[in-house]
Structure 1
Amino acid sequence: MTICTYNARTLAPEASVEDLMMQAGKIMYDVIGLTETRRHHPLDAAYGSGEELFLGTCDSKGVGGVGALVNTHLEMNIDSYESLTTRIGRLRLKRRGSVPALTVFVAYAPTSDSGVCAVLPHIFNADTRR
């Protein structure tokens, strides 16, 4: 499984989302974790090519926002995507054959105002809540 990350800088304009989809089509990936999406409205979009895009929202200052782009062959195995905060997202994939279920966390922690210590407790708590 190939999991990538991408600091998008912004996916608020539709043109930025279209550019992301075009660029993603040029690489081999299963999941791309997206950070700094800066969207004020969430997006859950399934594309004709089979990819599914999940984007959470940023905070009131326009900072943060995380999401995930899931490739065509995994689209049917998506259990759920949830933005736990404006800086943490969780993608759950179902078990498929001998491949176990998988949880992918996407975390955005800008170095200037938030350390790892502020993000890690949210990740660990989110994975234990069921």
Structure 2
Amino acid sequence: MNNPQYTNNPIINGAPSTTSPSDINPGSNGVDFIEVNPSVIIPFAPGTTPIIVKVSVPNTNTNVDKITVTITEPNGTTVVNQVSPGDTNKVDTFPITPLPENSTMTVTFGTNNGQPPENVTLSVIA
């Protein structure tokens, strides 16, 4: 716990077709999106019930100033919908309970200049 977790098999929407899932990992250059309201969808591995501690955009060279994290159950029920406070790009106010098995996390991004997000990396700590 409390170590950045690299996301497994994220689906990156709103990015160039040449974007690789590893481009979103912390330590990479990040993703330059081509849409103003892109998203990253992270399906949790089958058989896991993670307890999410923090989701953030750790790259300081980005125009992202807000993120929204939504977690849905397989039946489509939203179990978490958190928005980062103020001008921050992290959410760390998750319930301290395991999430349902086979849930999916969707992260959307807001920017400080109305342009598509740039240099976006994503850290999920569980």
TM over 0.5: no
| TM-score calculated relative to the size of structure 2 | 0.28
Higher-helix-fraction structure: 1
**Higher RCO, 1 vs 2 (CA within 8 Å, ≥6 residues apart):** 2
| TM-score calculated relative to the size of structure 1 | 0.28
